[in-house]
Homo-oligomer: A and B are copies of this chain.
Amino acid sequence: MANENSRKYQKIYETQRAVIERKFAQMLKGKEPKSLYKPCDFIIRSGGKRLRSFLVLLSTKAVGGKYSDAYNAALSVELLHNFTLVHDDIMDNADKRRGLPTLHIKYDLSTAILTGDTLFGLAYHYLLLDCKNNDKEVLSNFTESIIEVCEGQSMDEEFELRKKISIDEYKTMISKKTAALAEMCCAIGAQIGGGKRSEINALKKYGKNLGMAFQIQDDLLDVIGEEDKFGKKVGGDLIEGKKTFIFLKALEKAKGEDKKRLKKVIENKGIRKNQVRKYQELYEKLGVFKDTGKEVEKYSRNALNAIKNVKDDEARETLIWLTHALIKRNT
């Protein structure tokens, strides 16, 4: 029964995702200048799970709207997401994304910057197509989330240089860098669907908590398990010396020698690959796998609680399914 339902929601997701893919395949066809729209086309059609689009669509459905009311808004949030990826990849010096060369590698720095800027503009263009009476609210939510993402990205870069980061500061950073966008997707979806204030707020709360759970889980998954046959990289965050939730939690709990070893990760700006195992053992000893798992659970519970009263059965159940699909139990 659970499995059958699971297939049902998976199908809803795949159907909507296919709609988005089709629209992206058509979006920039034949547009001039090619020097600009070819790289834009390359990035928007290079894959991705289209989860942000799906959050928009489900939120529209959740308040009684139709998926088709919000297709342009769904494209818009993906355009925005891709804009952040293109610019982030430059900042992070990344040369691969989704198995393909990043834009500044495939083309050049100027093209990548300009492509990002254009996606940013196109994001507003598509959002405006789905705005009816409440455009100001929709656009304000959209705009504030962008500013938050920029603030979060800046904090993230700043944290790399700072030695002391509190868990609260870390949470503020990810709430801006990651959760703000998920929150906004739910907000604008609900607004475009004509939701009431209380419905919009509930869905916003869902998006924000889902985003938090997702990011903290991401930190956790990075350091779980062993290097496997397929070359899954384990402990990448430790190797790069990133101050993630699980790391900061360990630092908070550790004493004596253990604390010294963790502080070394910061001082040396990371560890060697062959040291990952030892730090996994330390995390185990300090119990931070469990702590982090509980944190993830707390946020996903908050997310699920927020949508309890969603009236549309399909949207509510699909959101619940999505939450479980994204946030797997690790503890």
Q: Which residues of A does B touch, CB under 8 Å?
A: 32-33, 35-36, 87, 90-91, 109-110, 113-114, 116-118, 120-122, 124-125, 128, 131, 135-136, 139-140, 143-144, 146-147, 150-151, 153-155, 157-158
A153: B residues at CB distance < 8 A? 114
Q: Could you say which of B33, B136, B151, B158 contacts A135, with CB atoms under 8 Å apart?
A: B136
Contact B118 A91 (CB under 8 A): no
Known: A33-B151, A36-B155, A117-B146. 4 other contacts (CB 8 A): A87-B114, A113-B113, A114-B153, A135-B139
Contact B117 A128 (CB under 8 A): no
Contact A128 B157 (CB under 8 A): no
A-B contact pairs, 18 of them (CB 8 A): A33-B151, A35-B154, A35-B158, A36-B155, A90-B113, A91-B110, A91-B113, A91-B114, A116-B117, A117-B150, A118-B147, A118-B150, A121-B146, A122-B147, A124-B146, A125-B143, A135-B136, A135-B139
A135: B residues at CB distance < 8 A? 135-136, 139
A131: B residues at CB distance < 8 A? 136
Nearest neighbor of A132 in chain B, beta-carbon distance: B136
A114 to B32, CA, bound (A): 27
Q: Could you say which of B91, B121, B140 contacts A147, with CB atoms under 8 Å apart?
A: B121
A135 to B33, CA, bound (A): 29
A87: B residues at CB distance < 8 A? 113-114, 117
Copies in the complex: 2
A150: B residues at CB distance < 8 A? 36, 114, 117-118, 121
Nearest neighbor of A83 in chain B, beta-carbon distance: B117
Which one of A87, A120, A131, A155 has the highest number of Cβ atoms from chain B below 10 Å of its Cβ? A120
A124: B residues at CB distance < 8 A? 124, 139, 143, 146
A133 to B232, CA, bound (A): 53
A36: B residues at CB distance < 8 A? 150-151, 154-155
Nearest neighbor of A143 in chain B, beta-carbon distance: B124
